[in-house]
Structure formats: C-alpha cells, structure tokens
Amino acid sequence: MDIFSDLIMGLSIAITPINLLYLLIGAVIGMIVGVIPGFGPSAGLAILLPMTFGMDPIGAIMMLAAIYYGAMYGGTITSILLNTPGESATVASTFDGFPLAKNGRAGPALVMQAVASFVGGTMGIILITLLAPMFAQVSRSFGPPEYFLLALMGMLTLIVMIGENWRLGIISALIGFALGTVGVDLETGQGRYTFGSAELIGGIYFIPIAIGLFGLGELFFAFYSGLHRTGTGGIVNYETEERFWPTRMDWISTRMTMVRHSILGFVVGVIPGAGATIASLMAYSTERSLSKHPENFGKGEMAGLVAPETANNAASSGAMIPLLTLGIPGSASTAVLLAAFVLWGLRPGPLFMEQNPELAWGLIASMYLGNMALLAISIFAIPLFVQIIKVPYRVLGPTVVVICALGTFSVNASFVELYIMFAAGIAGFFMRLYGFSPAALVLALVLGPLAEEALRQTLAISRGSFSIFIERPASLWIIVVTIVLVVFLPLLNRFGSKAETAKKSGI
C-alpha cells in the first residue's frame, strides 16, 4: 500500500466545495463547543451528531471529526482570557495561559496556543498517516479472543485512570454494560430486559444516553456549580494591548517544546483511556522539569502554555488510531465518533482502511486541512469567540436543552428515546456530582455488546476453555500490554496530577 498515493486520493475527496464547507462548519462548531465552559468534544459530538443525518457519510464524518479536534482549539481561549478551562484537557493551559494574559500578553498567548495546537494536531496526523496502515496490518490477524481482550483493555485503562474513584468508575462501566444487554440476544433471539416494549427490542440506543449524559448532565452540573451566576467580568481585554503577535523569542524558546510534546501527546493519546487531559498535564510537568527556569512556570511562561496545548491536540489525533484500526474507542469522544461511523453503516477495524479507502483517507486528509483552517480561525476569529464567551449561561442553558431534545428526537422519531435522554441527563448530573464516570458508562455501552459477542464466540471456539487467551500469541501480547498499562498508567496519572497539585499550592 502506498501511503502517499492514498493520501493524495484522500485529499482529492476532501477538497470538494461541499466537503470543505462541512469541514469549516465542523471546525467553527468545534471551537464554539470548546469555548463554552463545561462542554467538551463528547458533548458537542453527541448533541450535533443527529444533525449530520441528512448529509453524505464522508462529509458527515469529516465534520464530526472537525468538531472533535476543533474543541481542543476552542477550549484554551477561555483558559487564557478567563482562567476557566473550556474542558478538562485545557486545565493545564490555565496554569501559564492566564498569568500571561494578566501580564499584558494575552495576544501572544492566544497566537502561540493556536500555533501549538496546529503543530500538535498536524504532527499527530502525520503520525496517523504513517502508523495507521501498520496498526491495521498487525490487527488483521485478530479474532474474537483478541477483540474481547481489547475491549477489556479499553475499559480497564479508563478505570485505572479515574484514580481514587476507581470503584465508582467500575460501577459506571457496569451500568453501561448492563444497558448494553437490553434488546434481543442475537444468538438465541431471546428478548432481554425489553419488558414487552417494541421500542426496546433493538436495544437502548447509544445517542440518547450520550446526549443525556454529556449534554444535559453537564448542563445541570454547570447550573449546580453556579456557572450561570458568574458573569464574564473577569475576562482579559486583549484589544488594549500594544503587541498582539508573539516575539521572536517566543518562537525560538518553544520550537523544541512543540516537537517533543507532539510525540508525547500522540503516544499518550493512542493508549486507550489516557487521553488529552492526562497528556496535557504530563506535558506541563515534563516541560517544567526540563526547563532552565522552572521557577517561571505558573507566572506566565510561554513554554508552560505551549507544552500542554501541543500535547492535547496530538493526543486527540493519537486517539484516532485505535478507533480506525481496531474499532475500539479509547475515550468518550471517540466512542461517540464510533457511534457516528456505525450510524453510517461503517465498522472501523482492521479492514476498514482497506475496504473504505475513500472514507478513511478522506478523513485523514481532511484532518490536515481542518488543522490549517483552525489555525486561521483561532487567530483571526478571536473577537467572535470572545462574544460567545459573553453569552450568559442562563440564556445558553435552556437553548442547549432544546437542541438536545430535538436532536435526540430527530434520530428515530421516538418519544421513548426522548424520555431516555432526559432520564440519562438527570442520572448524568448525579453521576458527575458523586464522582461516577459518565465516560466509562458510555464507553461500556459501546464496548459491552462487542465484548459479550466476542467472549461468547471465543468460548464457543475453545469449547468453554479460557486457556485460549494464553494459547494465542496475539492474545497473550494484549494481556501483557494490558497488565503493563494497568500498572504504568496510575504512575502517569500521578505524574500529571502532581503538576496540578503543584500549581494549586503555588510551588
């Protein structure tokens, strides 16, 4: 397979006026979603997924992917100007982003975060281009035992990353698995937990749960946290600054920061469950330990902003690898993206790139274009996003409820799904409040049916013997990697959390 001819073919598909329009719309929506505190890419994707139904699959997937990585760009604007991260992956960007803005360097900080995001995102896509076909090649030998173990790996890594609330993470995942068992059992035709309802025969649909948990649940939690009461009075006014563009020193001092954290972010992103948040915190911590002036971190050091920004964008690209080549989402956002693929009748996995080259390479090519567009948008459209930040939450809240409700209904014209969405919203609020993990629930809802089917097939092949998992070399390797990750990831998590703790205690 010639990667470059595939990429050129992908570009020829992505560069059509209508696809470029979808890409731009997705990028802008992604940035808007990122700018709104409390809403991350998962919420944006879940809420907006139903709106792509009238589109052709390539355009829809390109737009959804642009929302996904666009949210990473947008989330930092509020981190810098308001000291309020748009989502968890941009928490580390507040550490030096806001001090830079307070020191009268908001303009350079905004430009550098856009450039860092662009470099991280683009490096991530270059690595996807080179590595995705290789991953697909390796995973072609995978059968049901490997798929079961991969699903298990995805869940376990996500749960260990939850940290001290790991038990609540397991309960969240088990609720997701339980919801995934509703509907007719495909092997025997027996109904499970349908209670005579015709609407539940096909199972509990993923979209209402995702929209409820991430859309409404987050919104209720934002109201509980009082976000609708806090105004935007603390926003830094960058327009009065003398100098908008970064200095030569800013570029020179951060060029290697961008390179190293692109690679680190990508690697962390590929690991299921790790994701952009941990990548950004790790990058901040690493950059501070490598810096000649660690004492400047937390006081407005440009490298302290560039490092997490590069890493979180590279991580969001990295997370596409297991999704495209294994069909295993490593995070809630990629689980929603997987749901989008499935809705379009596509099944990501080892054969996905071979069987759907136009779509796979069109998507990859569109990510190059999307990052270029986002670079321009996030520098030149800052005034627009500042206006969006100023829209009060008390007005935004009811409007989000409307979009969630009508979006859910539009999928299958089902009132039952609408009620499920509202119920999931209320449950999502309490889950968020008491330390449960909505992301683990959604991931388990997606992976549960896959894991169950794979486990039953595996035990049918092995006539009920679990030794099949250690007899097959590929399975054994996945077990070893899972054990390493389960042991290693909490250390990474602790490393990342140290940056947050150190910042909070002013060290």
Q: Applying CB under 8 A, which residues contact another protein?
A: 50-51, 53-54, 167-168, 170-171, 174-175, 177-178, 181, 185, 187-188, 190, 192-193, 216, 219-221, 223-226, 228-229, 392, 394-395, 397-399, 401-403, 405-406, 409-410, 412-413, 415, 418-419, 422, 425-426, 429-430, 433-434, 452, 455-456, 459-460
260 vs 456 by CB, closer to another protein: 456
Q: State in angstroms the smallest separation of the CB of 78 from another protein.
A: 21
Give which of 173, 111, 151, 248 is closest to 438, Cα–Cα: 173
10-36 core/surface letters (b: 16 or more CB in 10 A; e: else): bbebbeeeebbebbbbbbbbbbbbbbb
466 vs 477 by CB, closer to another protein: 466
Give which of 314, 382, 304, 375 is closest to 92, Cα–Cα: 304
282 vs 447 by CB, closer to another protein: 447
Rounded to 5°, angle at Cα 340 from 211 and 136: 135
431 in Cβ contact with 213 (< 8 Å)? yes
Q: State in angstroms the smallest separation of the CB of 255 from another protein.
A: 43
| Close Cβ partners of 334 (under 8 Å, ≥ 6 residues apart) | 68, 319, 320, 322, 323
4 vs 434 by CB, closer to another protein: 434
Sign of CA dihedral 370, 372, 377, 382: positive
- CA-CA-CA-CA torsion for 41, 446, 191, 468, nearest 10 degrees? 180
291 vs 462 by CB, closer to another protein: 462
**Residue 492: CA count within 13 A, CB half-sphere:** 27
| Close Cβ partners of 310 (under 8 Å, ≥ 6 residues apart) | 116, 117, 119, 120, 123, 257, 258, 261, 262, 265, 283
CA distances to 73, 151, 463, 497 from 283, in Å? 17, 27, 47, 11
Q: State in angstroms the smallest separation of the CB of 149 from another protein.
A: 16
3-state secondary structure of 191: strand
229 vs 347 by CB, closer to another protein: 229
398 vs 506 by CB, closer to another protein: 398
168 vs 372 by CB, closer to another protein: 168
39 vs 352 by CB, closer to another protein: 39
In this structure, how many other beta carbons lie within 10 angstroms of the beta carbon of residue 130?
A: 10
Please give the Cα distance from 191 to 184 (Å, whole number). Answer: 4
Please give the biggest Cα pair distance in the chain.
Answer: 74
Q: State in angstroms the smallest separation of the CB of 35 from another protein.
A: 19
Q: State in angstroms the smallest separation of the CB of 110 from another protein.
A: 29
345 vs 398 by CB, closer to another protein: 398
41 in Cβ contact with 387 (< 8 Å)? no
Q: State in angstroms the smallest separation of the CB of 208 from another protein.
A: 12
390 vs 394 by CB, closer to another protein: 394
Q: State in angstroms the smallest separation of the CB of 339 from another protein.
A: 17
Q: State in angstroms the smallest separation of the CB of 167 from another protein.
A: 6
Q: State in angstroms the smallest separation of the CB of 449 from another protein.
A: 9
Q: State in angstroms the smallest separation of the CB of 184 from another protein.
A: 9
Tokens of 334: 């990629």
Q: State in angstroms the smallest separation of the CB of 283 from another protein.
A: 31
Tokens of 505: 């205690």
Tokens of 190: 């027996």
